[in-house]
Amino acid sequence: MGRTYLGEFEEIVLLTVGILYEDAYAVAITKEITKQSARPVNVSAVHKSLYRLEKKGMLKSKLSDPESKRGGKRKRLFMITPYGKTALDESMDLRTKMRNQIPDLAFKWDIR
């Protein structure tokens, strides 16, 4: 599949799936992101990322039991795959690695 590419929002969704662990479905993810990042997120954006991540193989999913609070419908629960973890780690590593390469001087604005 070559280089894995992870969009910024996708990365956040992936992280949230991990955080929620056993209860990672669209509604909960939407709420979690809203809570953590304090930015308004629409459920359709989350849907889009979830399906795309699943297609890339970073997530897998299964259907839960029906629940009355959703009109007796089942929900799709998502879990991170090993490949998903690799992608997440790679992305994190890349960021930390690159962040560490910034010379301290670059942040010393008063010197210049």
Partner 1 sequence: MKKKVNIPRLAHAFFKWYCRPEKYEELHGDLEEFFYERVEEKGLFRAKLFYTWNVIRCFQPYAWRIPESGNANVAMFMNFYFTTVRNFSRHKRYFLINVSGLAIGIASFAFIGMYVLNELSYDQFHTNYKQIYRVNNDAVIQGERNNQATTSAPIVKAIRESYPEVINGTRILRKGQLLIGKGNTKINEERVLFADSELFNVFDFKLIKGHSSTALLNPRSMVLTQSYAKKYFGEENPIGRELTVEEDTIIYKVTGIVEDVPPNSHIQFDMLASLSSTDYESTTQWISKSLYAYIVLREDADPESLQTKMKELFYKFMAPEIEYYTGLTIKEWEGAGSSVGFKLTPVADIHLYSDVTNELEPTGNVAYVYIYGLIALIILFIAIFNFVNLATAHSATRAKEVGVRKVIGSTKRTLVYQFIFESILVSTLSTFLAITLIFTCMPWFTELVGNGLAYNLTMGYEGWLFMTGLALVVGLIAGSYPSFVLSAFKPVDVLNGTLKAGGKSSWLRNILVTIQFAASIIIIISTVVVYNQIEYMLTRNLGFEKDQVLVLERPDWLKDNMEVFKADLLENPNIDIVANSQTLPGKFYKIRSYRKSGHNEVFLFSNNQVTYDHLELMGLELIAGRFFSKDHPSDSNAVVLNETAARSFGFDEPIGQSLTSAFKYGDIKIIGIVKDYYTESLHKQIAPVSLELDPKDASGYLNVKLTNAHNIRETIEFIEDKWLVHSNGKPMQYFFFDQEYENLYKSETATGKTLLVFSMLSVFIASMGLIGLITYTSTVRRKEIGIRKVLGATTSTLVKLLSKEIVMLIIIATAIAWPLAYFATDYWLQNFSDTTPINPWIYFGATMAVLIVVGIAISYQTIKASTMDPVDSLRQE
- Using CB under 8 A as the binding rule, whether residue 63 contacts partner 1 is answered as yes
- Using CB under 8 A as the binding rule, whether residue 42 contacts partner 1 is answered as yes
C-beta of 23: minimal distance to partner 1 in Å?
13
- Using CB under 8 A as the binding rule, whether residue 26 contacts partner 1 is answered as yes
Beta bridge partners of 76: 63
First to last CA, the chain: 45
> Which residues fall within 8 angstroms of residue 1, CB to CB, at 6 or more apart?
56, 57
Pick from 19, 74, 85, 90: which binds partner 1 (CB under 8 A)? Answer: 74
Asked whether 24 and 84 are in contact (CB, 8 A), the reply is: no
**Interface residue list for partner 1 (CB under 8 A):** 25-27, 42-45, 47-48, 51-52, 63, 67, 69-76
